[in-house]
Amino acid sequence: MKITKAVIPAAGFGTRFLPATKAVPKEMLPIVDKPTIQYIVEEAVASGITDLLIITSRGKDAIVNHFDKAAELEAVLERDGKEELLRLARGVSDKINVHFARQKEQKGLGHAVLCAKSFAGGEPFAVMLGDDVVVNDEKPCLKQLTEQYEKLGASVLGVQRVGMKNVNKYGILDCERENGRLYKMRGMVEKPSVDKAPSDIAALGRYVLTPAIFDCLEKTEKGAGGEIQLTDAIVKLMETEPVYAYDFEGTRYDIGSKQGFLAATVDFALKREDLRDEFAEFLKRTAANL
């Protein structure tokens, strides 16, 4: 079965980017000139997703507006013959059906994913986290996972090694190599301390899950940080189904951290033909003075 549905949880407060996120959703902060969530949506489109559910909360209306048709703006750009700007304003909204659901209380990532139960409608689906932007110009990260799902018919998590010093920031896997980049999971711990971490292989914001995850989420109690954790529901899922992990190929930016956000901004600007040369000169001058 092909994966055509994806869920992007976007209900969090974004406290790490205050004061910017007081009135602007963190998902709308731009990397160069594109809101971060649009990079995720473009990855979904490039991976064959046709229906997307964005889980929002109070104060996130800018996300809803961003994926809506901006009729007045488009009319002005069309009248003035500004085709390139028109293309940018239209963005991806013509290429994918974007739906929204509100998470009324912020009870954690697991609780947000549970809001997608009726959207999934008993089908397997993808979860994409907005804090993880992954660049792979040949095969998008999510596409790599959906291909594995099609072969295995089982849930697959996108993972990479993060080094032991970073294990306390992620869902960390206990797993054994099946073949090549594929691992079979034995367990998973949310944000363990170094001494409790089973490995340094971390779930990095891309999941393909079978609908059985919803029963598991309904039974999941509050875990790390007092939140209902997707990680804990995945551990429950492993009791009844095999769950795999795939060490995806691509450069991943943790744009939920300021360092990661800055790194993405610099790298993405350097990839842009219209900005590269002048920006590279600026960087060289700046670096020479460090």
DSSP assignment letter at 49: -
Q: Are strands 125-128 and 5-9 parallel, antiparallel or unpaired?
A: parallel
Among 27, 43, 51, 132, binds ligand G1P (CB under 6 A): 132
Show contacts with ligand G1P in window 221-280 (CB under 6 A). Answer: 229-231, 256
Residue count, binding to ligand G1P (CB under 6 A): 15
Position closest to ligand G1P via CB = 171
CA distances from 83 to 76, 86, 89, 162 (A): 11, 5, 10, 43
- Contacts of residue 134, defined as CB under 8 A and 6 or more positions apart, other chains included, come to 43, 140, 141, 158, 204, 205, 206, 248, 250, 251, 252, 253
Is 3 in contact with 49 (CB distance < 8 Å)? yes
Q: Choose between 52 and 245: whose C-beta lies nearer to ligand G1P.
A: 245
Show contacts with ligand G1P in window 55-94 (CB under 6 A). Answer: none
In the complex, least distance from residue 203 CB atom to ligand G1P, rounded to whole angstroms: 4
Distance CA 233, CA 171 (A): 12
Is 51 in contact with 4 (CB distance < 8 Å)? yes
In the complex, least distance from residue 9 CB atom to ligand G1P, rounded to whole angstroms: 8
In the complex, least distance from residue 129 CB atom to ligand G1P, rounded to whole angstroms: 5
| Residue 109 in the binding site for ligand G1P (CB under 6 A) | yes
Q: Choose between 129 and 142: whose C-beta lies nearer to ligand G1P.
A: 129
HSE-up (13 A, CA, CB side) for residue 21: 20
Is 228 in contact with 107 (CB distance < 8 Å)? yes
Tokens coding 226: 């007092």
In the complex, least distance from residue 169 CB atom to ligand G1P, rounded to whole angstroms: 7
Q: Choose between 49 and 133: whose C-beta lies nearer to ligand G1P.
A: 133
Q: Choose between 16 and 90: whose C-beta lies nearer to ligand G1P.
A: 16
Among 203, 213, 228, 235, binds ligand G1P (CB under 6 A): 203
Show contacts with ligand G1P in window 133-192 (CB under 6 A). Answer: 170-171, 190
Q: Is the bond leading into 140 cis (omega within 30 degrees of zero)?
A: no
Among 202, 235, 243, 264, binds ligand G1P (CB under 6 A): 202
Residues of this chain that bind ligand G1P (CB under 6 A): 109, 129, 131-132, 170-171, 190, 202-205, 229-231, 256
